[in-house]
Structures are given as C-alpha cells and as structure tokens.
Amino acid sequence: MEIKYKIILKEIEEVLDRSDFSDKCNFICKILSSQNILVCGAGRVGLMMKTFAMRLNHLGLNCHFIGEMSVPRTGKGDLLIIGSGSGTTKSIVALAQVAKSKNLEVICITTAVNSIISNLSSSKLVINCTNKDNDSHLRESVQPMTTLFEQSLLIVLDSLVLDLMAELNESNLSMSERHNVIE
C-alpha cells in the first residue's frame, strides 16, 4: 500500500502559496503587545490552536486556551486569537463577540475573509482553501472534511512561532527552559 504523504504535502504547499499573509507583521505586533493572550478553536482546529498556545508560553508569553480552567480574568490590553476555517462556528462566534464586548482585541486565522469572525477581527491571516461551508463540488482536496485547513493552520502557526522567536530573541534552548518537566 502506497503512503500518500506526497499528495498531502503538495496540497498544503499549493494552499499556502496562494494564501494571504500580508497582515502578518500587524498580527505579530498584536501578539507581542498583549498582556494576556487567549486562543481558541473548535474540534481539530482547536487542537492546532492548543499547540500554538503551548509554544507562546514556551516563548515566555502569558497564553491560555479558552475552555481551560486556568484562564485568567481578561480585558483591555488582552488578545483573543481565533482559528476558524469557516468563521461561522456558533460557539467561536459567541466567544469573539464576548471578547469584543469585554474590550479584548480579536485576531484570526481563517479561510473566510468576509465571515462574522473575520469581521470582528482587527487582523487576519487568510489560508486560501475550502472550508466546511463550501459546497462539496468546490472541494480541492482528496483529504476528508477540513483536514487541509487544519494541516495548513498548523504550518502557519509554527511559522509564526519562528517569527516570534526572532522578534523576542528566543532560541530552542531558552524555550526549552520553559517547557513542562512533569510529563
């Protein structure tokens, strides 16, 4: 049986090559200027966002994943980073609306440039691929459901970590010193 990783890598590369990261500098500035950073996403997207929250903590930033019991009180000067392919997931839309009402800055990574979440965001990175709201005949991936967005999201998040490492003068060693030792 053939392993299909080359198909997956080709799909990811094609998506990222046509995506819009023109607001990346602003996106990074918002992360760096925030006191508390919250991240969220639903389902598998949420898992990708959790990995980003972990790396932000390894960078020495104060970051929490929405839904964890350790989320501190937040308000003005704090940031919510949303991962949402469709930008319409009701639970995530509700979180974005509450965050805005509590004076948090909201930024997102999405496929849907004109979605509710995108419109609530002051900065966005747009991964140009289909999402759960697209018609099935528009699918561009052989992978099921929203897998291509989730994979591309993880790559984008990890590339942001590299940018943040440079901005914060962090290294693998300095980040490792903040890594959990109880595993």
User: Measured in whole angstroms, how far is the alpha carbon of residue 58 from the centre of its chain?
Assistant: 16
User: Which of 105, 140, 150, 170 is an active site residue?
Assistant: 150
Residue of 108, 58, 61, 105 lying closest to 79 (CA atoms): 105
Nearest to 6 by CA among 136, 130, 143, 111: 143
pLDDT at 137 over 60: no
**Is the pLDDT assigned to residue 50 strictly greater than 60?**
yes
Task: Give me the architecture of the 35-172 domain, per CATH.
Answer: 3-Layer(aba) Sandwich (3.40)
Helix (H) or strand (E) holding 97: helix 90-101
Indicate yes or no: pTM above 0.85: yes
The stretches of 108-169 forming alpha helices (DSSP H) are: 116-120, 147-168
More confident residue, 146 or 157: 157
What is the separation of C-alpha 88 from the centre of its chain, rounded to a whole number of angstroms?
Answer: 15
* Residues 154-165, mean pLDDT to the nearest whole number: 98
Q: Which tokens sit at 41? A: 């996403």
Look at residue 138 and tell me whether its pLDDT is greater than 80. no
Mean pLDDT on 149-157: 97
Is there a catalytic annotation at residue 183?
no
d(C-alpha 60, C-alpha 53), whole Å: 11
